Every structure is written in structure tokens, then in C-alpha cells.
Amino acid sequence: MTGVLSAPGFPEASIRSRARDGARGVFPPMDGYGLTLFGAGGVSRPGTAEGGTDPLDAMRLVPPVFMPQRLEMLTELAREPLYGDVALDTEIGGFRSPLPFYVSAFGSTQVSSSGLGLAVSRQAGRLGIPLVIGENVVPTNGYADSSEQTGNGMLARLRAYESELPDGLGGMAFQQSTEDADAEVWNLLYSDPGAQPLLESGRLAFELKVGQGAKPGLGGMTVLQRATADRLAGQYSTDESVFDGGEQVLRCSSPGTFTAEILRQQIRFMRNNYPRARVWVKLPPGRDIHDAAQVAWASGADSVTVDGAEGGSGWAPSSFLDQVGLPLAECLRRLGSQPRSHCLLVSGRMWEGARAVKSLALGARAVGLGRAALLAADEDPEEGLARLVACLALETRMLISSLGKYRPAALDQDDVWLPGATGLGHLA
């Protein structure tokens, strides 16, 4: 580099990286791979005054002056109600949960396979909140193997969760992608003796993965050493050009192909072939999110999960992480109000109470902790997630109480305001 040429106003470092590194410059820096949770840096709103502010964060919760529900609670309790009187227990996709929180999917990434996946499973089980196991775990790490001490295998996470789970609470949902279907993941689980206690108690779900927030329209991606890539070559597509034929190989899974009719048929297949399992559907933040969710619910899905573009912690091109997919706030706006029978789960930068309560007010039944759960377990593998959830529950109770309400289901769009909107309960 001569040092005599600069490009004011341009992302010069990124341009030079692409010129220097070629195709690998499309992705985040490799020195963080395996140690970094990518994506979820916030979603900008081009052309608006908020600039880089996430639209959900820009909203405010707005308590009313008159609170008839507080008066009802006062009459019932014969005293002034406090935030501790807010009841957070709820039904999540057919599972009983003490809180409107669940652990959202993370699968075969290096971070979640380093032992953190096992730590999160244990703590989520102890809390009695639902846990989702993401895609590609079995094809990449195995179903039942010698890795049960590190949490790489599928059964290791199931046993860790199940061993801590209180009676009657929680449940596990297992995602399936195209490659998982080839590995017969759901068939293995449905017939496995280790999964029978969950199945018999109605606490096992299968989640059809249509897409994800971090890279809608693309399948899962990870970077493998050549030897591992060669071992998986019959199951996944690989791209050696990104790393110039070196020891690292980009592994790509299929994004899957869906139409409304294919989604209907897939859900019917799940209901017919796995009648004792709950049916969940995971949708990406697509522009037709409303139509897709309606198809899923009408076809009998127990739950629909929506990742905002903020969601996801896996490896993806920077352009996807920064500029593809609808932010969660816009997904919630397009989904609109739903019948109480429709269970909507959402995820995307969930870690504190205000963002969670806004999502609940805008129609979600519960919010998912993904990146936050991994970070908490990394901080303390035994109690980190439990402490994070305790903080989240405290804030959630206080915020709901401040709105004069005492259950998450009582929240509605009037509790939320976006600066610049024409009135309460309307997103700009």
C-alpha cells in the first residue's frame, strides 16, 4: 500500500480488506471466528432521524393516568398492588413456563459447541423455561457420541436439560433443516428412549426451520477445517474459493424452498408422523411475514417463531448482518394483533426488560434469549443464565406493573409509543 491515496466518506478499511483478501473480505474478520457472536449490532433506519437506532429501542412504554386493572387488583388483594403481584407464568407453544422467556435456537456453531451449549441447557432446565436446539447439530457434531462432556452431541444437551427440569414445566423444541431431515433427526428423537419422558409429558416439540434472522434467504454457514469439511462433503455444500484453497473451507447448508402449499404440507406431515410432538415453525424476517405466519397457524402450528434481522449469532456475510431482513419492530407491525390462540415467539437482541415488554405488548407470547444466553453462560457456566433471567424477570414485573397491568397477556399496543407516530399503538 502506497499510503498516498485515501477515500474520504468511504469505508476505506473495508474496501482495502476486500482488495487484499478477496472473497474472505465479504465476511467479518476471521480472527474472531469461534470466539465471537456475530450479527445483532442493531438495525438502522435509513433516511430517518433515528439513524442507527433500532426501531424497537426507539419506542417508549407509556403508562396511563387511569388504571382500572390496578383498581381490580386492589379490590382482589384488599391492599395496594405492587410489582411483585405481576404473574409472569405463561403457555409457550404448548409448554408451561414460569416466565415469558425461552432460550432460542443455536446449533452447531463453534461457540455453542464449546461447552456453552451444555451449560445453557442445564440452566434453562433448572429454570423450567423452554429450550430450542438449533439446526445442524446432528450432521455436524453427531447424535449420541463421545462428546457428551462438551455438549457437542444432540443427546448431551437433551440429557443436561432433562436432568434439571422441574415436573410439569418447560419443554424442548428441536429444529430441522434440510440436512437434519436427511440425517432423520426427528425420527431419531421420536423413537429414542431418552426423549420419551418429554414426549409422554407433552414437552417435546419439533420446529420446522423456514429461515432465520441473521441471514434470511440463506442457509446456515460455518467455517471448517479441511479435514472436517471432507468428512461432511456428502451432506453439505462447501466453498473453497473464499479462503483461497487454504486449510479453511466455508460450509453452507441448504436454505430450503418454501411456498404456502409446501409449508402447509410440511406441517401436515409433522402432525401425521409425529402426533405426540408439538409443531413449531421458525420464520425469517421476510416481507410477507404476515402471510407466512397465517399459513402456519391455519395449518395447525402450535407456535410461530419470528427472528428479527437483529437475531442470530452465527457466521454470515457482513452485508446480510447489516442490510438484509426486516427489523423485529417491523415484523411485529406487519403481523399485527393476533387471536389469543395464536402463539407468537420472537427473538432479536433480547436481554433486558423494556425490549421484552414492548415485544409482548406488540403481540408476542414470549421472547427468546440467544446471544444473551450464551454470554451469560460464558460469564458463569453454573449460574450466569439464571441470574440474567432473574434480572429480566424483575424488570419485566416492574414495567408491567407501571402500566397498571398484572399479566403479560393484558398488555396491548396502546402501551407502546414511537416518537413521530400519529398516536399510541401505531408503529411508524
CA-CA distance, 384 to 376, in Å (whole number)?
A: 5
pLDDT tens for 376-418 read 999 999 999 999 999 999 999 999 999 999 999 999 999 999 8
pLDDT tens for 246-293 read 777 777 778 889 999 999 999 999 999 999 999 999 999 999 999 999
Q: Which residue has the cell 453454573?
A: 382
User: Where does 364-412 show beta strands of DSSP type E?
Assistant: 366-369
Closest-CA residue to 123 (of 380, 355, 356): 380
CA-CA distance, 67 to 53, in Å (whole number)?
A: 31
Is there a contact between 118 and 164 (Cβ–Cβ < 8 Å)?
no
CA-CA distance, 182 to 179, in Å (whole number)?
A: 5
C-alpha cell recorded at residue 278: 408439538
Least confident of 110-124, 271-285, 330-344: 110-124
User: Which phi-psi region, left, alpha or beta, contains residue 180 (left: φ > 0; alpha: ψ -120 to 50)?
Assistant: alpha
User: Above pLDDT 90, what percent of the chain?
Assistant: 56
Q: Which residues are CB-contacts of 103 (< 8 A; sequence separation ≥ 6)?
A: 120, 124, 129, 130, 131, 132, 368, 369, 370, 373, 385
CA angle 2, 6, 12 (to 5 degrees): 105
Mean pLDDT rounded to a whole number for the chain: 85
CA-CA distance, 133 to 148, in Å (whole number)?
A: 15
Q: Would you list the DSSP string of 213-267?
A: SSSTTS--EEEEEHHHHHHTTTTSEEESGGGTTSSEEEEE-------HHHHHHHH
Is there a contact between 274 and 206 (Cβ–Cβ < 8 Å)?
yes
C-alpha cell recorded at residue 114: 464449546
Residue 7 scores a pLDDT above 60:
no
Is there a contact between 376 and 395 (Cβ–Cβ < 8 Å)?
no
What local confidence, expressed as pLDDT, does residue 150 receive? 52
Is there a contact between 172 and 161 (Cβ–Cβ < 8 Å)?
yes
Residue type, 240: E
End-to-end CA distance of the chain: give it in Å, rounded: 46
Three-state SS for 47? coil
What number of other Cβ atoms are within 10 A of residue 29's Cβ?
12
- Highest mean pLDDT among 5-14, 178-187, 293-302 belongs to 293-302
DSSP β-ladder status, 221-225 and 237-239: unpaired
Closest-CA residue to 161 (of 132, 202, 190, 185): 132
Instruction: Note the pTM of the prediction, 2 decimals.
Output: 0.86
CA-CA distance, 208 to 211, in Å (whole number)?
A: 9
What does CATH list as the number for 55-220+255-417?
3.20.20.70
Residue type, 13: A
Closest-CA residue to 175 (of 208, 130, 199, 129): 208
What number of other Cβ atoms are within 10 A of residue 23's Cβ?
14
What local confidence, expressed as pLDDT, does residue 262 receive? 96
